Amino acid sequence: MNGEARLLAPLVPTRGYFPDFLTPAEGLLGMTDALAALRETPAARLGAELARLSTAARPFPSWIRAMADGDTRALGRLAGILQRYYEAAVAPYWPRVQGRIEADRAARGRALLDGGADQLLASLSPMMRWRPPVLEADYPVDRDLHLNGRGLLLLPSYFCRRTPVTFHNPELTPVLVYPVEHPAPRLTPQVPPERSLGRLVGQTRSAILQRIGVGCTTSELARRADVSLASASQHATVLRDAGLLLTLRQGNAVLHTLTPLGAALLRGARPAEEAAYERLR
């Protein structure tokens, strides 16, 4: 896999432009749909976007040059490399990635419900600043994206770091991909999951898991589970250490959401992460 991963390096530089066709809108439906859309990329678009990426100082390998010339076999090869890279480097960790994304979505959804679009856009600071009617973003280059009546899709990403990104082509559907929060490493040792799960006994913690819904604060959790604020906070800590909850700070409050593992526990299903590992065996 390492050799194949190196083949992707010319297409995805560590900084600067990378082709828009690598992130089709169908990716919202899953990896299978994304790769199917990638295989159908028109030859003219491939040539134009790869020409923008090409530099004389670092020429493309022959298979990418063939893809730029419209060779469908080369495009199929790229799709295969991306599929294998996903299975090896992303799928085993997808529950963790998905949990962090869902926590961000819950926080943005609460901001939207509490204060409408203004509060939602204001919640994106400090990487973005809402100064009506303009949303300013810390961006790698100086550019303007005019919506011209179109909507803007805000897309949280686990792999986007430091600054938001968007499509280079302004004619494509406006999408702003922004980094989700990556909490700093803990300074104290984490409680081993086995020990934490062993402590997960009794009606109170079961009630907390069942009543979190799409996300709630500690105060809301205490009311829903009919326990004191201190008790709700303590139980949430145990559930978080067991990998069943995610906690995201929002101003002076914190928002608790279920992880995929927590949701699987409620469903009585095997954790998605275990299934992902088995598919790779």
What SS3 string covers 34-67?
HHHHHHCCCHHHHHHHHHHHCECCECCCHHHHHH
What are the Cα distances from residue 108, in Å, to 117, 164, 181?
A: 10, 16, 12
Q: What is the pLDDT of residue 262?
A: 86
End-of-domain residue from the set 177, 201, 219: 177
- Domain with residue 229: its CATH number is 1.10.10.10
Q: Same domain for 128 and 199?
A: no
Residue 14 located in a structural domain: no
Q: Same domain for 125 and 195?
A: no
Q: Same domain for 161 and 198?
A: no
Residue 59 located in a structural domain: no
The Cα–Cα gap between 165 and 176 comes to 6
Q: What is the pLDDT of residue 35?
A: 94
Residue 139 located in a structural domain: yes
End-of-domain residue from the set 149, 177, 205: 177
> What is the layout of strands, in order, in the sheet containing 153-157?
153-157, 175-179, 165-166
Q: Same domain for 146 and 210?
A: no
Q: Same domain for 254 and 210?
A: yes
What three-state secondary structure class fits 88?
helix
Q: Same domain for 168 and 199?
A: no
Residue 86 located in a structural domain: no
Q: In this model, does residue 47 exceed pLDDT 70?
A: yes
Q: What is the pLDDT of residue 192?
A: 55
Residue 278 located in a structural domain: no
Render pLDDT for 86-126 as a digit per residue (tens, 0 to 9). Answer: 998 888 888 888 888 988 999 999 999 999 999 999 999 88
Render pLDDT for 238-254 as a digit per residue (tens, 0 to 9). Answer: 899 888 899 988 777 88
pLDDT level of residue 38 (50, 70, 90 thresholds): very high
Q: Same domain for 164 and 104?
A: yes
Report how many domains make up the chain: 2
Q: Same domain for 171 and 240?
A: no
pTM, full prediction: 0.70
Q: Same domain for 105 and 153?
A: yes
**Could you list the residue range(s) of the whole structural domain that residue 114 is in?**
93-177
Q: Same domain for 98 and 138?
A: yes
Q: What is the pLDDT of residue 278?
A: 44
Render pLDDT for 136-185 as a digit per residue (tens, 0 to 9). Answer: 998 878 889 999 999 999 999 998 878 898 998 888 889 999 999 876 65
Render pLDDT for 83-94 as a digit per residue (tens, 0 to 9). Answer: 999 998 888 888
Rounded to a whole number, what is the distance in angstroms from the first to the last CA of the chain?
Answer: 15
Are the C-beta atoms of 107 and 248 separated by less than 8 Å? yes
Eight-class DSSP state of 254: E
Render pLDDT for 180-210 as a digit per residue (tens, 0 to 9). Answer: 987 665 555 555 554 554 556 567 888 888 8
Render pLDDT for 207-241 as a digit per residue (tens, 0 to 9). Answer: 888 888 888 999 999 999 899 999 999 999 989 98
Find the helix or strand (DSSP H, E) in which 193 lies: helix 193-199
Residue 163 located in a structural domain: yes
Q: Same domain for 198 and 173?
A: no
End-of-domain residue from the set 119, 150, 177: 177
